[in-house]
Amino acid sequence: MPKSSPEPAAAERGVRIDRWLWAARFFRSRALAKAAVESGRIIIVGPDATGADPDAEATAGQRPKPSRELGLGLRLQIERGGVRQTVIVTGLAEVRGNASAAALLYSETSASIEHRERARAALLLQRAGLVVPAARPDRRERRERLRLKQSADDEHEDDDHE
């Protein structure tokens, strides 16, 4: 039997952090969300300025368990793909909805947005010098690259021994 309206029940008692991360579309599956929480890529930073979640003060800076229940106003730090986002929980849901509904479940802090944009710009600058070859290297090119790499490794080993 499908749930008609999960929102009121979720708002009363809270939602598991792994389920919320999945519903808010930070991760593609609940298993990935649970793995992220267990590996420490999700950190409870603390309560929002409104102080809506009184338990958040005591658990600030801690790595939660996947079964930890979230409340409104909780501030989370989420690391995905080497990028950290700081978000404030603005809505609770146990069921995954569309992207526009998921966007209503959180708001990203302005400092987090700025940091993410700077990291993205730095990555684009690093990749600016990358030239992708049009085709695979042939035998001669592979051997030349291998010789070049081996000579660079030999020079590096000589530097280490001195």
The confidence band for 90, taking pLDDT boundaries of 50, 70 and 90, is very high
pLDDT higher than 90, residue 81: no
Task: Single out the residue of 38, 42, 35, 47 nearest to residue 73, CA to CA.
Answer: 47
Assigned CATH class of 6-113: alpha beta
The pLDDT score that the predictor gives to residue 154 is 79
Query: pLDDT of 5-60, one tens digit each?
Result: 445 455 557 899 999 999 999 999 999 999 999 999 999 988 755 555 555 555 56
Query: pLDDT of 111-135, one tens digit each?
Result: 999 999 998 888 888 888 777 778 8
> In a 3-state reduction of DSSP, which class is residue 51?
coil
- Residue 15 burial by CB count (10 A; 0-12/13-18/19+): exposed, middle or buried? buried
CA-to-CA distance for 102 and 96, rounded, in angstroms?
Answer: 8
Question: What are the start-end ranges of the H helices in the chain?
Answer: 6-13, 17-23, 30-38, 99-103, 110-127, 139-161
Region 87-112: mean pLDDT is: 95
The pLDDT score that the predictor gives to residue 57 is 56
The confidence band for 2, taking pLDDT boundaries of 50, 70 and 90, is very low
The pLDDT score that the predictor gives to residue 3 is 47
pLDDT higher than 70, residue 160: no
In sequence order, what are the residues at sequence separation of 6 or more whose Cβ sits closer than 8 angstroms to the Cβ of residue 67?
Answer: 16, 17, 18
Name the β-bridge partners of 89: 106
CA-to-CA distance for 57 and 99, rounded, in angstroms?
Answer: 30
Q: What is the mean pLDDT of the chain?
A: 83
The pLDDT score that the predictor gives to residue 6 is 47
> In a 3-state reduction of DSSP, which class is residue 64?
coil
Whole-structure pTM value:
0.67
